[in-house]
């Protein structure tokens, strides 16, 4: 690898230009990924990353990251406290050995459990959100001795085996990954849920707020109705907080707005600060019991890597600081106040926000104009009338003013 650092990267880039990179990427990784975005005239490569912004490595254009990879960069790119924690551990810790006890996995387990008031006091670690969802489904099935999983149409839980089976046909049919006993019902419809949940149901699996479906928070009472439907038949309620969790909504977990406690909670993405992959499936001791009795029945070599635990502990330190969640709540209110009279409706809980347009084409044109203006939101894959709008939670007042100004300008032109 030659060291011909691009001008817009802090890290030596092996290719001088986008086209040089693309030639190799096309040949050895995926032509399709590049074709998709190039079709819209968009040749993006992440270069310099710092706080709320990243810079395109080859053009030097700077963007405010309002996609944050679905929450990975909730605390900004390269959050200095997370980076420092991992840097201090590098060369001393590594992934450790998942077969044995670990002080860091224990400490993180206790801290995660505490975020649920110790209701979900057993933690199984993973590497990806999909893996963590698979664990949730496996645990619910093992505990109940039942098969059926009820999820929401348009929801998204990952692309591994069981998480994929719980998602939309569009993603699973191509891979012949449809599985029996997975049922989807319309989101936010308590009657459809009550009808679907029966004595064969192992679990209901819902996102805290569905992101891919279009950033639509549950209506008041919906999660309580789901909780009741589950309780009536002894099914587990799994809440997927991969995107909605870790402070994004102004509470640590989105379910804490809904007056329920789930039996299983899945977290990922922002748990690592975008620095080192780690995910976690939290569950009640009762549900976990069967995993504990069969300790080798579920393993994950990299799951709960100690370097990941270090990153996650630093993330929790930040979001649990006094005032952090209050500021998220206040910032969310500010966005709502200042993003009005524009051609979209703001869907929002805390700073979990979506810009809902009337037409898909309008959303898409606005997306391209926002890119030009250096703002980087992202389309909701299953409702393209909605742009996911997720500025980092660490955004300062001045940065928020700048961001709001850019959105206002693009949308009033
Ligand atoms: C709500 C939700 N659950 C699960 C996942 C899967 O996570 P991963 O991509 O880490 O497997 C995602 C990913 O976008 C997600 O948004």
DSSP for 354-409, please give it: EEE-SSHHHHHHHHHHHHHTTEE-EE-TT-TTEEEE---TT--HHHHHHHHHHHHH
Ligand 1 atom closest to Cα of 131?
11
Q: Distance from the CA of 276 to the center of ligand 1, in angstroms? A: 15
Q: How far is CA 93 from CA 32, 79, 110, in A?
A: 38, 20, 20
Domain ranges of the chain: 18-66+324-412, 82-319
137-165 residue pLDDT tens: 999 999 999 999 999 999 999 999 999 99
Alpha helices in 68-189 (DSSP H): 80-89, 103-115, 129-144, 161-165, 169-172
Sheet holding 122-126, edge to edge: 122-126, 279-283, 264-267, 236-240, 201-207, 148-152, 182-185
Residue 4 clears pLDDT 60, i.e. is over it: no
With bands split at pLDDT 50, 70 and 90, how would you rate the model's confidence at 413?
confident
213 alpha carbon to ligand 1 midpoint, in Å?
Answer: 13
Our mutation pick for probing the ligand 1 site, out of 70, 155, 242, counting the most ligand atoms within 8 A of Cβ, is: 242
Question: Of 172, 268, 271, which is best to mutate to test ligand 1, by the most ligand atoms within 8 angstroms of its C-beta?
Answer: 268
Fold of 82-319: 3.40.640
Cα angle value 392/394/395 (rounded, 5°)? 75
Ligand 1 mutation pick, 269, 271, 388, max ligand atoms within 8 A of CB:
269
Q: Whose CA is nearest to atom 8 of ligand 1?
A: 129
Q: In the predicted model, what is the mean pLDDT of residues 111-132?
A: 98
Over residues 273-288, the pLDDT tens digits come to 999 999 999 999 999 9
- Cα atoms in the 13 Å half-sphere on the side-chain side of 115: 33
Q: Cα separation of 382 and 216, whole Å?
A: 12
* In the predicted structure, residue 35 carries a pLDDT above the cut 80: yes
Ligand 1 pocket, Cβ-based, cut-off 6 angstroms: 70, 128-130, 133, 156-158, 207, 211, 240, 242-243, 268
Mean pLDDT on 333-351: 96
Distance 130 CA to ligand 1 centre (A): 6
CA of 239 to the centre of ligand 1 (A): 12
Average pLDDT (302-319) is 98
Cα separations in angstroms, 89 against 49, 125, 306, 310: 22, 19, 9, 8
Tell me the DSSP string of 272-284: GTTTS--EEEEE-
Please give the pLDDT value at position 148.
98
pLDDT-based confidence at 5, cuts 50/70/90? Answer: low
Residue 3 has pLDDT above 90, yes or no: no
Q: Provide the pLDDT confidence category of residue 2 given band limits of 50, 70 and 90.
A: very low
Helix (H, G, I), strand (E, B) or coil at 123: strand
Express each pLDDT in 168-215 by its tens digit: 999 999 999 999 999 999 999 999 999 999 999 999 999 999 999 999
> Is a pLDDT exceeding 80 seen at residue 306?
yes
Of 3.40.50.720, 3.40.109.10, 3.40.800.10, 3.90.1150.10, which CATH number belongs to 18-66+324-412?
3.90.1150.10
DSSP-derived secondary structure letter, 121: -
Per-residue pLDDT band for 243 (boundaries 50, 70, 90) equals very high
* Ligand 1 midpoint to CA 344 (Å): 26
Pick the residue whose CA is nearest to atom 7 on ligand 1: 129
What confidence category does residue 41 fall into, taking pLDDT thresholds of 50, 70 and 90? Answer: confident
Average pLDDT for the chain: 96
| Residues 6+ away with beta carbon under 8 Å from 145 | none
With the most atoms of ligand 1 within 8 angstroms of its CB, the residue from 67, 74, 130, 171 to mutate is 130
Ligand 1, atom 13, lies closest to the CA of: 158
User: Which two tokens mark 241?
Assistant: 């907080």
Q: What is the separation, in whole angstroms, between the first and last Cα of the chain?
A: 46
Structure tokens at 20: 């040089």
Quick check: 15 pLDDT over 80?
yes
* 128 Cα nearest atom in ligand 1: 10
Residue 319: which pLDDT band, with cuts at 50, 70 and 90? very high
């Amino acid at each position: 690898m030659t060291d011909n650092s691009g001008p817009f990267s802090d890290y030596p880039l092996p290719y001088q230009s986008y086209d040089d990179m693309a030639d190799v990427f096309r040949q050895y990784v995926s032509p399709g990924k590049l074709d998709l975005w190039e079709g819209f005239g968009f040749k993006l490569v992440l270069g310099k990353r710092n706080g709320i912004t990243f810079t395109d490595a080859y053009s030097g254009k700077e963007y405010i990251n309002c996609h944050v990879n679905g929450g990975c960069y909730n605390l900004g790119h390269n959050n200095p406290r997370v980076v420092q924690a991992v840097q201090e551990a590098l060369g001393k810790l590594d992934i450790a050995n998942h077969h044995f006890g670990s002080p860091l996995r224990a400490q993180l387990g206790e801290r995660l459990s505490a975020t649920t008031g110790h209701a979900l006091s057993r933690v199984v670690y993973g590497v990806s959100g999909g893996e963590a969802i698979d664990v949730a489904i496996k645990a619910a099935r093992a505990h109940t001795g039942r098969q059926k999983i009820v999820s929401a149409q348009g929801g998204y839980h990952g692309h591994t085996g069981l998480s994929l089976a719980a998602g939309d046909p569009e993603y699973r049919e191509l891979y012949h990954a449809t599985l029996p006993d997975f049922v989807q019902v319309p989101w936010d419809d308590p009657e459809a849920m009550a009808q679907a949940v029966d004595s064969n149901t192992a679990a209901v699996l819902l996102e805290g707020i569905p992101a891919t479906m279009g950033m639509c928070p549950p209506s008041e009472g919906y999660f309580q109705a789901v909780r009741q439907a589950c309780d009536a038949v002894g099914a587990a309620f799994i809440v997927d907080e991969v995107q909605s969790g870790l402070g994004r909504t102004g509470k640590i977990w989105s379910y804490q707005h809904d007056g329920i406690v789930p039996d299983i909670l899945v977290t990922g993405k922002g748990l690592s600060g975008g620095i080192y992959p780690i995910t976690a499936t939290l569950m009640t001791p009762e549900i976990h019991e069967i995993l504990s009795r069969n300790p080798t029945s579920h393993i994950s070599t990299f799951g709960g890597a100690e370097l990941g635990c270090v990153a996650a502990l630093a993330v929790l330190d930040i979001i649990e600081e006094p005032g952090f969640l209050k500021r998220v709540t206040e910032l969310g209110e500010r966005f709502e106040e200042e993003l009005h009279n524009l051609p979209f409706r703001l869907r929002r809980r805390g700073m979990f926000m979506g810009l809902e347009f009337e037409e898909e084409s309008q959303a898409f044109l606005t997306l391209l104009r926002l890119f030009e203006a250096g703002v980087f939101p992202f389309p909701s894959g299953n409702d393209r009338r909605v742009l996911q709008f997720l500025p980092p939670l660490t955004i300062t007042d001045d940065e928020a003013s700048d961001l709001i100004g850019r959105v206002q300008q693009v949308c009033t032109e």
